[in-house]
Amino acid sequence: MKSEYSYPKAILHIDGDAFFASCEQATNSNLRGKPIAVGHERGIATAYSYEAKALGVTRGLKVSELKRDYPEVLLVSSDYKKYSLFSNRFKQIVLRTCDKVEKNSIDELYADITGLDKRLGCSYEKIALQIQSDLHTALGITFSIGLGPTKTLAKIGSNCNKPHGLTVITKDFLYSTLYKLPIGHVPGIGYRSVPKMNIHNIFTIHDFISKKHEYVMDMFSKPYQELHQELRGIGVKEFETGVRIPQSISKIHAFRVPTSNPEYLLSELSRHSEIIARKLSRIDRGATRVRCGVKTFEEMTISEEFVLQVETRDPHVIYSVAEKLFWKIVNSHKKYRATYLVVSGLKEQDAQIGLFSSETHNQQDMKQVLKTIKSIEDKYGIGTITRASSSGNTRDRQVHNANPLVYDSWGKKVLSLPFLGDCR
């Protein structure tokens, strides 16, 4: 078979089909072929299996609504450690074929396979099908793939034929099908941007790419200029294969039962500050700006930003700022269902700091404490030692309808192999 694919660059976008639900079905044979929803523990169903989607369920239903409207859908607890484990395996398997891989989120990644056709002696289509089949065999989960000349086109492609599909963006497909799609199908153009595009008489992708380059440069901001190029088949989005240094780090967590208890809310913020501090030290940065937020069912209230004099990765500093901000926004009459904490203004920590602003003994002691905690965590698992203010809430690890991962006796570390339950 001669390849129809004629572009010099070959980018794959590989997307897990109903990823969270698929991970649960892969690890529990009881759930296979059945309509399931994931998210039991938070009271909101966040992901559905294809069987459930076939019944007409859409995103984000409260558990009570789901039970009322779709009683046949099975509710399962979500287990993010399990999804991360599958996500890492997903990347590792793709890395066996090609080394230029960029993880876009937990359930999707880009792979640049340009030139592999000559090295492996087979077409790009075949390479894509081989990766798809390797993933299915090893993980028991199906993936949809788009093959195109740019990241953006490949990503639109992977969404064209779900589940377990391969969409090859040939010139023919581009003009006959893809360009006719509504502009909202482009990743990066959300429901807020669509009306803006409509003002410019842009309703389909074709309308957008027909605009002259100069026009787009004048009328649109940089992300849209990039999309305009990418949609025309000119790759401008770089591959980021290394560790990405983020602009900000945030943590949000929703509780099972909404609460107005400030102690509980603060202990959640304390927990967030620890998680954020851990991420900061992993990427070797300190933060200078802090905000916190609380969310009711209807709305999220976010505090003003607090600017620190010196960057920090100390959970205690982050928490004490968050606490001050928290008291400014909290309303004791409202019931909250989630807390939010975000730090930004990330900077590399200055090694010279000791020279002029000579560290107090206190700070040095604290550094020593943080170092010790880290070495204990390396050995016994993250969360072995937590701030006393975080310990107000011990989360129950109650699992509904799912096979949990195998934990060590401390209950902190998980076995790197997913557990499939009993066999007889």
Partner 1 sequence: MEEKAQIIQAFYRNHKRMPTYSEICEIFNYKSKNAASKLVTKLARYGVLEKDKKGRLIPTFSPYSIRLLGLVEAGFPAPVEEQEIDTMSLDEWLVDDKEASYLLKVKGPSMKDAGIMNGDYVLVERTRNVKPGDIVVADVDGSFTLKYLRHNKQTDAYYLEAANDEYDDIYPEGSLDVEAKVISVIRRYNNT
Residue 89 or 278 with smaller CB distance to partner 1: 89
How near is the Cβ of 424 to partner 1 at its closest, in Å? 5
Of the candidates 53, 43, 42, the one whose C-alpha atom is nearest the C-alpha of residue 18 is 53
Residue 193 or 281 with smaller CB distance to partner 1: 281
Residues that bind partner 1 (CB under 8 A): 27, 29-30, 32, 89, 92-93, 137-140, 284, 349, 351-352, 354-355, 371, 406, 409, 415-424
Of the candidates 177, 158, 176, the one whose C-alpha atom is nearest the C-alpha of residue 166 is 158
Burial group, residue 41, by CB count within 10 angstroms (0-12, 13-18, 19+): buried
Measured CA to CA, the distance from residue 299 to residue 297 in angstroms comes to 6
Cα 134 to Cα 88, 91, 298, 366, 399: the distances in Å are 15, 12, 43, 48, 30
Residue 81 or 371 with smaller CB distance to partner 1: 371
How near is the Cβ of 236 to partner 1 at its closest, in Å? 24
Residue 3 or 84 with smaller CB distance to partner 1: 84
Measured CA to CA, the distance from residue 206 to residue 195 in angstroms comes to 16
How near is the Cβ of 138 to partner 1 at its closest, in Å? 4
Q: Which of 24, 51, 102, 108 is catalytic?
A: 108
How near is the Cβ of 9 to partner 1 at its closest, in Å? 25
Residue 60 or 411 with smaller CB distance to partner 1: 411
Task: Please state whether beta strands 166-168 and 143-148 pair in parallel, antiparallel, or not at all (unpaired).
Answer: parallel
| DSSP state, residue 30 | G
User: Is there a catalytic annotation at residue 108?
Assistant: yes
How near is the Cβ of 416 to partner 1 at its closest, in Å? 8
Q: What is the dihedral of CA 179, 201, 187, 23, to 10 degrees?
A: -80
Query: For 76, how many CA atoms within 13 A lie in the half-sphere containing its CB?
Result: 29
Residues recognised as catalytic: 108
